[in-house]
Amino acid sequence: MREPLDPWGPSDPLGEALHLVRMNGAFYCRSELSAPWGMTLPAMPGYLWFHVVTEGSARLEAEGATAQLRPGRLALVPHGAGHVLRGEPGTAAPDILALDREALSDRYEVLRHGGGGAPTRLLCGAVRFDHPAARDLVAALPPLLHVSASPASGAGDWVTGTLALMAAEARSARPGGEAVITRLADIVVIQAIREWIEHDPAARTGWLGALRDPQIGGAISRIHRDPGRAWTVAMLADELAMSRSSFAARFTELVGEPAMAYVTRWRMHVALAALHEERLTVAELAARLGYRSEAAFARAFKRVIGQPPGAVRAQRLAEDAALAAYAAHG
């Protein structure tokens, strides 16, 4: 009997999407800066950058938007765009990769830079999201997301408390500090996204707006929970007590694509995540996603993802083999 790839208990569709916001950190950096200072961070497509000031201040410039950061404030650059951090407008900002950095581990560094003036301390990181629901959610975010601890923002308690704990860990050299900081960073990023969803009118449009719709959100939730089911427009409409024509029109209006196109795209992104996370053959994955033939699945996968599933699986197996060889000779 075929089992869904994404089983979980009852929840609201938006809550389910947030449940799947699980991050894999690529890079964390603690910066000890002194005026005048500046640095340019490279574009990292598919990643989200976050920045937290624990002492002093910083100016963030990203995709034509700016944010002034001080302790108790958090900024996200959700789409991985290249951007600039500096102490004052106009200060030179060399590429961060050209600056001296001390590697504390393979994913955590300390950067010291500047002219010896007033100090600023920063915690920065680049993280990626592997699940397709998380990627869709992040794609809906604005180019620059800025959250402060002001009472008007509604985020005061969690921002103040969590960022204060991150700052305390960054100042000390206690055992396990890196692990604490990276886990707190994950919490901060998710909380910032929740804050934006709850308070920004832009979160009530597009895919996120569709998740909030009682009927279309219910359809999306059903597709997410069981992507391998033999869905049809008529079946989805019937489960929601809507006419087929009304359901099809409303789904396209809110989501931006027809229901069956969404089903196919969702299946392929779930397949991509599974190929990276599990040791499934292409035939096994095709069967779990409801395809009667491996060839039909492979055609749909290549159309949506841009390369054959066999190539993705071979790349993952090669990476696993390389890691195993490195560990054996390390």
Q: Using 50, 70 and 90 to split pLDDT, how confident is the model at 8?
A: very low
pLDDT of residue 183: 76
Which DSSP letter does residue 281 get?
A: -
Alpha helices by DSSP H, the chain = 13-19, 132-139, 156-171, 177-199, 206-212, 216-225, 233-239, 244-255, 259-277, 282-288, 294-305, 309-329
Least confident range of 5-9, 254-258, 310-314: 5-9
Least confident range of 1-10, 16-25, 51-60, 92-101: 1-10
Please give the average per-residue pLDDT across 106-119, as a whole number: 89
pLDDT of residue 324: 58
Sign of the four-CA dihedral 254, 251, 140, 161: positive
pLDDT of residue 329: 52
pLDDT of residue 3: 44
User: What are residue 319's phi and psi, to 5 degrees?
Assistant: -65, -40
Q: Which of 209, 287, 290, 322 is nearest to 255 (CA)?
A: 209
Pull the structure tokens for residue 164. 């204060």
Q: How far is CA 301 from the centre of its chain?
A: 22
| 210 vs 182, more confident | 210
pLDDT tens digit sequence for 245-295: 999 999 999 999 999 999 999 999 889 888 877 778 889 999 999 999 999
* Rounded Cα–Cα distance for residues 243 and 185 (Å): 45
* Rounded Cα–Cα distance for residues 254 and 24 (Å): 30
pLDDT of residue 287: 93
* Rounded Cα–Cα distance for residues 11 and 71 (Å): 35
| 182 vs 289, more confident | 289
Q: Which of 61, 48, 268 is nearest to 140 (CA)?
A: 48
pLDDT of residue 326: 46
| Percent of the chain residues past pLDDT 70, beyond the cut | 81
**Beta pairing class for 47-55 and 73-77:** antiparallel
* Rounded Cα–Cα distance for residues 313 and 185 (Å): 31
pLDDT of residue 159: 62
The answer, yes or no, to whether residue 149 has pLDDT greater than 70, is: no
* Rounded Cα–Cα distance for residues 323 and 162 (Å): 35
Pull the structure tokens for residue 233. 């427009």
The answer, yes or no, to whether residue 10 has pLDDT greater than 50, is: no
Ordered by where they begin, the domains of the chain are 13-202 (2.60.120.280), 213-318 (1.10.10.60)
